[in-house]
Amino acid sequence: MDKVSYVYMMGSTSRRALYTGVTAPLYSRVWQHKNNQGGYFTSKYKCYRLVYFEQFTNVEVAIEREKEIKGWRREKKIALIEKMNPRWEDLAEHWGSEMRFKGQSLKEDPKPRKEE
């Protein structure tokens, strides 16, 4: 069985900067970004808000999706975010000691969706 992987986007409060990445598990990586341990770009541009993510059961598919999204124009990335998260809320805002998102415990990542 393949490891669960995620493609995600972190955004700055101003919405000017967007960072797209791939990871497994999501919770730990988002925590790193929020605590200035995520890398140069996210620290420099203050991309501390999780604004979008997709879940995959195959890491190769996730990497291909990340490359696809990174190749898009900004307008298309914004449309993708707003389809899932129209108000650009920080989807990880309430992750913490309870680590809950939409009623699911994130001590272990939620069940992955299957790719077609």
Q: What is the pLDDT of residues 93-105, one digit of tens each?
A: 988 644 444 444 4
So what's the pLDDT on residue 23? 96
In this prediction, residues 57-77 reach a mean pLDDT of: 97
Q: Which two tokens stand for residue 53?
A: 């993510």
In this prediction, residues 19-42 reach a mean pLDDT of: 92
In this prediction, residues 12-21 reach a mean pLDDT of: 93
Q: Which residue has the tokens 């993708």?
A: 80
Q: Which of 2, 113, 115 is nearest to 59 (CA)?
A: 2
Q: Which of 61, 59, 58, 56 is nearest to 111 (CA)?
A: 56
In this prediction, residues 56-73 reach a mean pLDDT of: 97
Other CB atoms within 10 A of residue 2 CB: 13
So what's the pLDDT on residue 95? 80
C-alpha–C-alpha distance, residues 76 and 95, integer Å: 28
Q: Which of 79, 80, 29, 68 is nearest to 50 (CA)?
A: 29
Q: Which of 21, 9, 6 is nearest to 88 (CA)?
A: 9
Q: Which two tokens stand for residue 108?
A: 């272990």
Tell whether the model's pLDDT for residue 70 goes beyond 70: yes
80-89 core/surface letters (b: 16 or more CB in 10 A; e: else): bbeeebeeee
Tell whether the model's pLDDT for residue 111 goes beyond 50: no
Tell whether the model's pLDDT for residue 107 goes beyond 80: no
So what's the pLDDT on residue 112? 47
So what's the pLDDT on residue 15? 87
